[in-house]
Each structure stands twice: as C-alpha cells, then as structure tokens.
Amino acid sequence: MIDVRRQFALLLVLFLPAVAAAQEKPEELRWGTDPTGGAPYIFQKDGSPEYVGFEVEIAEYLAAKIGRQPVMVSGDWSNNPQQLEKSRDVEKGMDIILNGYELRKDMCEKYAVTRPYYIYRLALLARKDNQDLLGWTDLLPREGRKKKTVCVLGASVAEQYIKNTFPQGVDLSSNADVANVLKLVNDRRLDATVQDNPAATYFTEEYPDLQIAGELVNPGYYVIYYRKGDAALGKALDDAIASGVRDGTFERILRKYGLWNGDQERLHYWLEKAWPPFDVEAEKDKNAERINPWPRMMRELLRAALVTIKLSFASFPLAMLLGLLVALVRVYGPWWLAFPAGLYVEVIRGTPLLLQLFMVFYLLPTVVPGLGEVLTPFVAGVVGLAINYSAYEAENYRAGLQAIPRGQMEAALALGMTPSTAIRRVIVPQAVRIVIPPVTNDFIALFKDTSACSVILVTELTRKYNELFNFNRDYIVELAFITAGLYLLMSYPLALVARSLERRMGAGKGGHR
Amino acid sequence: MIRVTDLMKSHDKFPILNGVSLTVKRGEFAAIIGPSGGGKSTLLRCINGLEPFQGGAIAVGDDLNLQGGTLPSKETLLHLRRRVGFVFQQFNLFPHMTALQNVMSGPVYSLGLAKAGAEAKAKALLDRVGLSARMHARPAELSGGQQQRVAIARALAVNPSAILFDEPTSALDPQMAAEVLAVIRDLARDGDRTTIVVTHDMDFAAKAQTLFVMEAGRVLWSGPPGERGNGETP
C-alpha cells in the first residue's frame, strides 16, 4: 500500500510541471485601439516597431493586474465600437476598446463602461501667428469674415462640441488621422483643430509654430468600453483601475508622458462615487422623448449628397477632356509624346485612387509651394478624381478612335482637310458616339468613388453617414440603407440619361460597310 | 493636266507600280481598266497623295509636283487634294452628318467658306446628282447608289479641277451602278474638269475619251477606246 501511495506521489510530482505549463499561458486581453491616433496615446518611437504610449502602459498594467495577456488589436477608431457587437473570437475580435474613448451617454446605452483612467479637456490648436484665432470666441460667426476651417477627429466629442457650440461660424470637417490634420494647420491650410489636451500638448512640442489658443474646455473622461455581458471582466478592470489610481501607478505613467495635471486628482473622487455619473436607463427614456432626429439627419445627408453631386459633375467632364487629349496623343501623336502618354495611363491605372487623392491633397502642396491655397479639400478631390478617371477615359477613347475605319480619315484628307481638322470634325465626333456606353459606366463608377474624398476632409455622403451613425448608433441600419438609397437615387437617373443618349446618338451610327 | 512619269512603288519589296507613265489632258475623260491587282487603285491614290511612292514623278497642273522617294510638304498635299477630288469604292461618307452636311464639309472645313454660301452650293450639287429630296438623310438611311452620289457631290463641292473615281460602282448592284455611272458621264461633259475613272465596266470605259489598260504595274495600252481590238481584252 505504501508503495502504491509513493508511486502516486511520484506521478504527481512528475506531472505537476506539465499541468502548470498548460496554465502558464494566461487568457488574452484583446484591447481595441487605433494607432493612427498617434502620440502620446499609442505610437512608435524612433522607427522602432514596438508601440509605446500612455495607453499602451495602462493596458499592460490592467492586463497584468487581472492576470491576462495584453494583445493589441488595431482598427479604425470610430468603427472599433462595432467590434464589441461581434464575438471576441472573430478576426480582429476585441474584449475591450481603450483609446481615448470618451464617456458618452449614447455609448453607455450600448456598451458597459469602466471608471475613468484619464480626465481630458478640449484644446483649440492654431498657429501662433494667426491673429484671427486666439481663442474659442473667434469661432463665432462675424459679419464679413470667412468661416474658420476646423478639422477634428471624426466621431469624437470634439466634433460634437464644435457642431453644437459653433454651428454657424465654423466650416467643420473630420478626419481619422490626427497627425495629418496637425500638419495642415501648421501649413496654414486649416485654421484650427480641436483635440483632447494629451494630443494638443504633444503636438505643440512637435510643431513649435502651433499653440493652444484660449483655455482648455469641456472636461470629460477617458473610459474603457466592454460588452454588457462581460460583467466579471468589467468588475476586474474597475478594481485594477482603482488600484492603479490609488497606488500611484497611473500618476507615474501619466507624468512620464507629461500628462499629469490637477484634473487627475478627480480620478480618486470618482472611485468613491456612483459610475457612470448618470442613470443610463433614465437617459434612454429621456432619449425616446427627445425630438425626432430624422429631419435633422435627413437634412444633413441631403446636404452631403449635394457635395457628392458637385464632386462628380465637376470632375468627370475634366476626366473626359483629359482622357480624350491623352488618347489623341497616343493614337495620332509622335512617339515622343505617345510614349509618356501611355506611361501616364499605366501609372494612373495601376495606383489606387485613395493614394492619388493623398498625393494631390497632402504631398503636392509641400512640393509646389503656394499650391496649398488653391488645393482646398474640394478642389483636391476634383483634381484627384479627374486624374484617376482620365486614365480610364483615355483607354475608352483610344478604343473608340481605333474603331473608326481608315477610309474616314482618307475621305477627310481627300477633301483637303488638314489632319487636325479631320480628327476634330470627322474622327472624334464618331469616336465619342461609340464610347458613350463605357464612358457612362465610368461616370456612375466615379459617382460612387467620390466617397474616397472623405479621406481628404471632404464631407460627402459617405463621410456624413459615418459621422451620423457614430452619434446615433441606434439608427445605424436605417442610416446605412438611406445612404445606399441616396446613392442609388442619384446614379440610376444617370443610367437612364445615358441610355437615351445612346439611342439618340445611335441614329448617327452605321453607314460604314 | 495630270502627268505621271515612270512611277515606281513597291510594298515590302513586292512591286505594285513598275514604271507607270501616262498623261491626261485638262478637261479630258479617261478610264483605266485592267485585272485586279494591276495597280490601278494604287495609281489613283498616289496621284491624290494618299500613298507615298519610291520613284518617278507626278505633276498636277503646272505648279504641283510630287517626287518619288521624298515626302511632299503639308502645303503641297493640301493644295493637291483641294485641286484633285477623290471618290472611293466604299463611299466613305461621314456617318454622323446628313447628306447635306457631308457635301458642305469640304467647303466649310477645308476651304473655310461661310456656312450659308456653302449650303446653297451644296444643295445645288445634291440636286445635280438627283438627291435634293434626301439632303437631310444620314448615310445609313440611304441606299448604296444614293450614298455614292452624295460622295460625288461632296468631292465636287471643293471645286476640284480634276476628279478621280476609284472603282465607284464595284460595291453596287447593276441598277444602282447604272445611276451612278450616268451621273459620272454627265459630269465628265463639264467643260474643263479632268476625270479619271478606274472601272471594271467595259461598256462604261468605252465611252471615255482615252483608255488606259494596266496590268502588273504597267500601262500596257493607251489610246481612244475605239482603236482597241477586241482580242486584246486583258
């Protein structure tokens, strides 16, 4: 018997390390974030692939505290909350979102929320030499003065704040990439941006010509959102936050990034109080009583749809003209012109529209000084779309030109026309008729591609949809269908016009044998 | 006057014209016949500057000369084509224009005449080829014979001193061919316009003042049609 027990004990000793090893790998804490938000939240320092930042350190601290392995999951800032609606096991699945997400009533209705880990305020950033923008009151409308151009992070409290506080005096746009926006303010292409104080503090060091104009306003809380079903996780996180605040770890992390200030003392205060500081259920009821948001949302969507229409109708004629010129040069020009024209088509066709828009809006003005004045977001959008589609139109026209029988040119020359007159009066009018169907097709495609302009601060339909659903997450499905419906409503008549045009022009076809 | 001297043209070393010489006097009505591939059409196209040639010379009038092996200047080509009209086997009307616009296209776009004047003249020409009733029709709405008559009116509209017909009835059925040939014969009676017709129609060629027989890139026989014996038909 003793032998048996000894053997059992031996077995136990042998197996224990294996059991322990299996337990050694703790569960993951998948935290959703958007690294494009940049310093000091989360960024790469001096070209190192490692991410650093105060939120990285807080995430690592919290994960360690609750015995989990932190795994950073990057996504688009304004879309990350959507990931909490899916299972954590999907690709890019998240347990929590932690990236300067502000405490918002509408968010609390959908997601569970932790206590705050930072208290921020909004800062107005402008150039030091901008005498017209020294504080918030300069954003108020004033007779005979142009609206201030202000860009903010899309779906942020800053966006909401500007919209509600300065509905008249500000030409507001939004963008996901804070670093780009700051550069535009620095280059005088935007008047100002509104950022949370951590970003503002960091960027005034990065750009010495920028300053925080006026005081910091509208304090708010950075919190972590998680699924409403994950109560145990939430409790563990709240406990971890409490110990981080109490044992001075948060203060140490925040001081390291120059973010500690008097406001942060309030973190202690909120550990003792009910959280969140409002009744989510009561707010929900209040919401239901609130005025119907649809008239306002429809107005905003329609206004954005108008921008989409303007973009399309301004850029496509340019694309057609440019495309025709390129095609003429390729078909009839001397080789030293035809060759670069062919290269142009291949390069433009072979690179993404999004990249071209970036180049036109962000890079071109740095290469050609003075261009920044002209290249407003709208103009840059028109130019980028026109260039992109000119390559496709050039190929359409080239096919059209080559489809004209040789006898047409000979007949025109035999009448004594110069080659250029023959091209203008005889060849091109016929080629244009031939290519109506593919060209119309491209126009409809361009119509939808205008949505890419949202990356260069143009508030067109897709951008507006994004903006609206971020603050009205209850209507996310309705808004998506309405936006899609608006696109269809605009592009379908185009298809009809094209078809009738084709029929009418078709009368001139034929006659070739 | 059109004078062709020792014209040489080859394509990829394959000779097409092998020393063609002929002279058509001002106001003369000449026909060129011969088997297919004998170089008849190529000769006409060379006279109008639509094809380059390697050797010999072409003179149109006293002042316009094309030399083999050299590219004529743009001005020479423009003057040449305004002086020498061309009617194609396949008509080559501009399909996006009406019959009237087709006839006006030369005067307006080549000679730079005002539209009003060009239109009056174009209507007269369409009347002459028997198509004033169809002047607003597009080519696709016209029969082959009608299209070719519009093409003839179009060539005449720039007032050429010579007009070249390249197998003008080959693409037409006999009924339509007869209409077109009647128009050409009628026009050939006009005072001092030189007319050269390449044709396969022997009866028609017999009505020309001068007949040229071409074969294998050479002129085999030339003279008044009546002087040619029946046995010599190529």
| In the predicted structure, residue B231 carries a pLDDT above the cut 90 | no
| In the predicted structure, residue A237 carries a pLDDT above the cut 70 | yes
Residue indicated by tokens 């977001």 = A377
For B62, the domain range is 2-232
Q: Could you give the CA distance from residue A328 to residue A339 in angstroms, rounded to a whole number? A: 12
Let me know: does B192 contact B184? Beta carbons within 8 Å. Answer: no
Three-state SS letters, A120-154: EEEEEEEECCCCCCCCHHHHCCCCCCCCEEEEEEC
Looking at the fold, whether A156 and A192 belong to one and the same domain comes out as yes
Three-state SS letters, A357-399: HHHHHHHHHHHCCCHHHHCCHHHHHHHHHHHHHHHHHHHHHHH
Looking at the fold, whether A194 and A241 belong to one and the same domain comes out as no
Name residue A128's amino acid: K
Q: Alpha-carbon dihedral of residues A27, A29, A35, A41, nearest 10 degrees? A: -130
Q: Is A511 on the interface with B (CB under 8 A)?
A: yes
Looking at the fold, whether A86 and A143 belong to one and the same domain comes out as no
- pLDDT for position A23: 57
Looking at the fold, whether A158 and A269 belong to one and the same domain comes out as no
**Helix, strand, or coil (residue A221):** strand
Let me know: does A471 contact A160? Beta carbons within 8 Å. Answer: yes
Chain B partners within 8 Å of A512 (Cβ): 95
Looking at the fold, whether A411 and A433 belong to one and the same domain comes out as yes
Q: Do B85 and A414 touch (CB under 8 A)?
A: yes
Chain A partners within 8 Å of B92 (Cβ): 405, 407-408, 410-411
- pLDDT for position B208: 92
**Is there a domain that residue A125 lies in?**
yes
Looking at the fold, whether A379 and A260 belong to one and the same domain comes out as no
Tell whether the torsion through CA atoms of A138, A142, A146 and A151 is positive or negative.
Answer: positive
- Average the pLDDT over A371-383 and give the result: 90
Tell whether the torsion through CA atoms of A180, A184, A190 and A193 is positive or negative.
Answer: positive
Looking at the fold, whether A314 and A459 belong to one and the same domain comes out as yes
For A172, the domain range is 119-220
Confidence of residue B3 (pLDDT cuts 50, 70, 90): very high
Strand pairing partners for B29? Answer: B195
Let me know: does A200 contact A123? Beta carbons within 8 Å. Answer: yes
Q: Give A420's contacts (C-beta < 8 A, 6+ positions apart).
A: none
**Which residue, of A174, A198, A220, is where some domain finishes?**
A220
**pTM of the prediction?**
0.79
Nearest to A410 among B50, B78, B139 (CB): B50
Which range of A37-46, A294-303, A485-494, B144-153 scores highest in mean pLDDT? It is: B144-153
Residues in chain B: 234
Looking at the fold, whether A367 and A459 belong to one and the same domain comes out as yes
Chain B nearest CA to A499, separation (Å):
18
Q: Do B140 and A415 touch (CB under 8 A)?
A: no
Chain B nearest CA to A341, separation (Å):
26
Find, among B165, B131, B137, B167, the residue nearest to B150 by Cα.
B131
Q: Between β-strands B218-223 and B210-215, what pairing exists: parallel, antiparallel or unpaired?
A: antiparallel
Q: Could you give the CA distance from residue A28 to residue A95 in angstroms, rounded to a whole number? A: 9
CATH of the domain at A436: 1.10.3720.10
CATH of the domain at A277: 3.40.190.10
Find, among A315, A494, A498, the residue nearest to A393 by Cα.
A315
Q: Could you give the CA distance from residue B204 to residue B178 in angstroms, rounded to a whole number? A: 9
Q: Do A416 and B91 touch (CB under 8 A)?
A: no
Residue of A nearest to B82 (CA): A416
Nearest to B106 among A407, A415, A513 (CB): A415
Looking at the fold, whether A136 and A285 belong to one and the same domain comes out as no
- pLDDT for position A16: 53
Chain B partners within 8 Å of A407 (Cβ): 88, 90, 92
- pLDDT for position A290: 65
Looking at the fold, whether A101 and A159 belong to one and the same domain comes out as no
Find, among A120, A115, A118, A98, the residue nearest to A270 by Cα.
A115
Q: Could you give the CA distance from residue A386 to residue A379 in angstroms, rounded to a whole number? A: 10
Q: Tell me how crowded residue A194 is: count the other CB atoms within 10 A of its CB.
A: 30
Least trusted range by pLDDT, from A168-172, A259-263, A277-281, A440-444: A277-281
Q: Do A511 and B138 touch (CB under 8 A)?
A: yes
Q: Is A418 on the interface with B (CB under 8 A)?
A: yes
From first CA to last CA, the distance across chain A in angstroms is: 108
Chain B nearest CA to A428, separation (Å):
11
Tell me A45's DSSP state. -
The model's pLDDT over A161-220, given as tens digits with 9 standing for 90+, comes to: 998 899 888 989 888 788 888 989 998 999 999 999 999 988 898 899 999 999 999 999
**Is there a domain that residue A489 lies in?**
yes
Q: Could you give the CA distance from residue A504 to residue A12 in angstroms, rounded to a whole number? A: 90
Chain B nearest CA to A430, separation (Å):
7
Least trusted range by pLDDT, from A220-224, A428-432, A460-464, B230-234: B230-234
**Is there a domain that residue A54 lies in?**
yes
**Helix, strand, or coil (residue A51):** strand
Three-state SS letters, chain B: CEEEEEEEEEECCEEEEEEEEEEECCCCEEEEECCCCCCHHHHHHHHCCCCCCCEEEEEECCCEEEECCCCCCHHHHHHHHHHEEEECCCCCCCCCCCHHHHHHHHHHHHCCCCHHHHHHHHHHHHHHCCCHHHCCCCHHHCCHHHHHHHHHHHHHCCCCCEEEEECCCCCCCHHHHHHHHHHHHHHHCCCCCEEEEECCCHHHHCCCCEEEEEECCEEEEEECHHHCCHHHCC
Tell me the Cα Rg of chain B: 17
Chain A nearest CA to B107, separation (Å):
9
Q: Tell me how crowded residue A379 is: count the other CB atoms within 10 A of its CB.
A: 15
Measured in degrees and rounded to the nearest 5, phi and psi for residue B105 equal -60, -40
Burial class (CB in 10 A: 0-12, 13-18, 19+), B121: middle
Find, among B50, B82, B45, B44, the residue nearest to B63 by Cα.
B82
Nearest to B86 among A408, A414, A507 (CB): A414
Q: What percent of chain B has pLDDT over 70?
A: 97
- pLDDT for position A274: 86
Number of domains in chain B: 1
Q: Which two tokens stand for residue A368?
A: 């050609």
Which range of A162-166, A432-436, A485-489, B227-231 scores highest in mean pLDDT? It is: A485-489
Q: Could you give the CA distance from residue B97 to residue B93 in angstroms, rounded to a whole number? A: 8
Let me know: does B163 contact B193? Beta carbons within 8 Å. Answer: yes
The model's pLDDT over B105-125, given as tens digits with 9 standing for 90+, comes to: 999 999 999 999 999 999 999
Chain B partners within 8 Å of A411 (Cβ): 86, 88, 92-94, 151
Q: Could you give the CA distance from residue B93 to residue B99 in angstroms, rounded to a whole number? A: 8
Strand pairing partners for A192? Answer: A126, A150
| In the predicted structure, residue A6 carries a pLDDT above the cut 80 | no
| In the predicted structure, residue A315 carries a pLDDT above the cut 60 | yes
Measured in degrees and rounded to the nearest 5, phi and psi for residue A420 equal -70, -40
**Is there a domain that residue A27 lies in?**
yes
Number of domains in chain A: 3
**Which residue, of A267, A289, A311, is where some domain finishes?**
A289
Q: Do B96 and A430 touch (CB under 8 A)?
A: yes
Confidence of residue A511 (pLDDT cuts 50, 70, 90): very low
| In the predicted structure, residue A17 carries a pLDDT above the cut 60 | no
Q: Which two tokens stand for residue B180?
A: 């077109």
Chain A partners within 8 Å of B158 (Cβ): 415-416
- pLDDT for position B127: 94
Q: Is A508 on the interface with B (CB under 8 A)?
A: yes
- Average the pLDDT over A367-385 and give the result: 90
Residue of B nearest to A424 (CA): B109
- pLDDT for position A512: 40
Chain A partners within 8 Å of B106 (Cβ): 415-417
CATH of the domain at B171: 3.40.50.300
Residue indicated by tokens 């078809």 = A499
Q: What percent of chain A has pLDDT over 70?
A: 92
The model's pLDDT over B132-189, given as tens digits with 9 standing for 90+, comes to: 999 999 999 999 999 999 999 999 999 999 999 999 998 899 889 998 999 999 898 8
| In the predicted structure, residue A114 carries a pLDDT above the cut 80 | yes
Average model confidence (pLDDT) across chain A: 88
- pLDDT for position A18: 53
Least trusted range by pLDDT, from A35-39, A128-132, B46-50: A35-39
Looking at the fold, whether A258 and A400 belong to one and the same domain comes out as no
ipTM of the complex: 0.94
| In the predicted structure, residue A11 carries a pLDDT above the cut 60 | no
Which range of A144-148, A280-284, B36-40, B132-136 scores highest in mean pLDDT? It is: B132-136
Q: Could you give the CA distance from residue A246 to residue A312 in angstroms, rounded to a whole number? A: 57
**Is there a domain that residue A5 lies in?**
no
Looking at the fold, whether A283 and A406 belong to one and the same domain comes out as no
Q: Is A425 on the interface with B (CB under 8 A)?
A: yes
| In the predicted structure, residue A37 carries a pLDDT above the cut 50 | yes
Greater confidence (A44 vs A112) lies with: A112
Q: What percent of chain A has pLDDT over 90?
A: 56
**Is there a domain that residue A478 lies in?**
yes
- pLDDT for position A3: 57
**Is there a domain that residue A1 lies in?**
no
**Which residue, of A246, A263, A289, is where some domain finishes?**
A289
Q: Do A430 and B94 touch (CB under 8 A)?
A: yes
Q: In B, what residues contact A, Cβ < 8 A?
A: 48, 50, 74, 77-78, 81-82, 85-86, 88, 90-96, 105-106, 109-111, 138-140, 147, 151, 154-155, 158, 171
Tell me the Cα Rg of chain A: 30
Find, among B156, B166, B154, the residue nearest to B193 by Cα.
B156
Measured in degrees and rounded to the nearest 5, phi and psi for residue A261 equal -150, 180
Q: Do B92 and A508 touch (CB under 8 A)?
A: no
Which range of A338-347, A371-380, B203-212 scores highest in mean pLDDT? It is: A338-347
Let me know: does A335 contact A403? Beta carbons within 8 Å. Answer: no
Q: Do B82 and A426 touch (CB under 8 A)?
A: no
Q: Which two tokens stand for residue B202?
A: 């022997």
